[in-house]
Amino acid sequence: MKRGSAHLIAAISGAALLAAGAVFTTVYIATTGIHLRKLQIMPEGGIVVGTLPKNLEQWNAIGTDSIPSKEAIDALGTENFLTRTYAVPADSDIARKVFGDEDPRPIRISLHLAYYTGLVDTVPHVPERCFVGAGMQISGSPQAIDIPLDRSRLIEDTRVPDEIIESMSPSGGAFMMARSSTTFSRVRLPPNLDDLAMRVTPFRDDTQGVTLLAGYFFIANGEIVPNANQVRLKAFELEDDYAYYLKVQFTSSDLDTPEQLAMVAGSMLDEMFADLMLRTPDWVKVRQGTYPPGRGDAPDA
């Protein structure tokens, strides 16, 4: 056989193997329910995070919601976001709990929410990147701090099927429900609330002479995710044909320690967690196939 013919046969054989591999991969993905592309999904009614209530039990919004420039919105990568400052007075229960009865003081905290959907390759915007890019300096090591919640406000949701609990809560943590301050109905929260924590980093703004604490976590496909590195692992599992994640971030210059920030975050979540979850899809319904309504086949790989 001539050398040219041998090369041609080898090339054809290689192409055939690649084609066969592509066909096998496509068939395998189709038959195993793996979805490499994700569909966008919004909560029922298309409600956006900017409609979160301004007035809670203790916490009340002050000033107006921050409206960034078009360039900043483009950099954020979503128009479904909220940046709002909430505050409590010095004589509030949470201020006395944080600082003690001897020297309570007012607390202001910035709540930042950003909702993303259908973007598998999105890298979450986190303070370690954004604040430093804005000229601030990290002034200490990031810490994972547990967020305390008032469990007396919650009741267990006994309607979640066992197979959903097993898939979304491998450790067996129950789903709990909290009451919405706007609809007054019970709303399903993510499972494993005992593991609720956020990543807290201290920053220094030398131009303003201010030190602040920023902490965040994510709610990704109905589950709590503590850091950006795990967002893709939780939010974009291969078996899901839809995907979303919500960044929940708390920032304050009125607090002294990461533990104080976690206490404040817990106090706010006690009052708004249900309304926050109303602004995300109910992933139990998504896993059951009952939401979104009229859903079609999963996207092709």
* One domain for residues 1 and 85: no
Identify whether 201 is part of a domain: yes
Contact (CB, 8 A) for 211 and 204: yes
Within this chain, do residues 96 and 25 fall inside the same structural domain, yes or no? Answer: no
pLDDT at 38: 84
Q: What is the DSSP letter of 153?
A: G
pTM of the model: 0.84
User: CB of 168 within 8 A of CB of 223?
Assistant: yes
Q: Is 11 inside a domain boundary?
A: yes
Structural domain range at position 10: 1-32
Tell me: do 100 and 177 sit in the same domain.
yes
Look at residue 299 and tell me if it is in a domain.
no
Q: How many domains does the chain have?
A: 2
Residues 92, 23 share a domain: no
Helical spans, DSSP H, in 101-148: 127-133
Position 193 in a domain: yes
pLDDT tens per residue across all 301 residues of the chain: 544 444 434 443 443 333 333 333 333 334 434 445 789 999 999 999 999 999 999 999 999 999 888 988 888 889 999 999 999 999 999 999 999 999 999 999 999 999 999 875 556 788 888 888 888 999 999 999 999 999 999 999 999 999 999 989 878 788 999 999 999 999 999 999 999 999 999 999 988 899 999 999 999 999 998 888 788 776 567 778 899 999 999 999 999 999 999 999 999 999 999 999 999 999 999 999 999 997 654 443 3
Residues 89 and 69 in one domain: yes
pLDDT of residue 294: 78
224 and 163 co-located in one domain? yes
Nearest C-alpha neighbor of 124 from the set 66, 68, 168, 81: 81
Residue 153 belongs to some domain of the structure: yes
Judgement on whether residues 163 and 229 belong to the same structural domain of the protein: yes
pLDDT at 235: 59
176 CB contacts (<8 Å, ≥6 apart)?
151, 154, 155, 156, 157, 188, 189, 193
pLDDT of residue 256: 96
In a domain, 296, yes or no: no
Provide the 8-state DSSP code for 264.
H
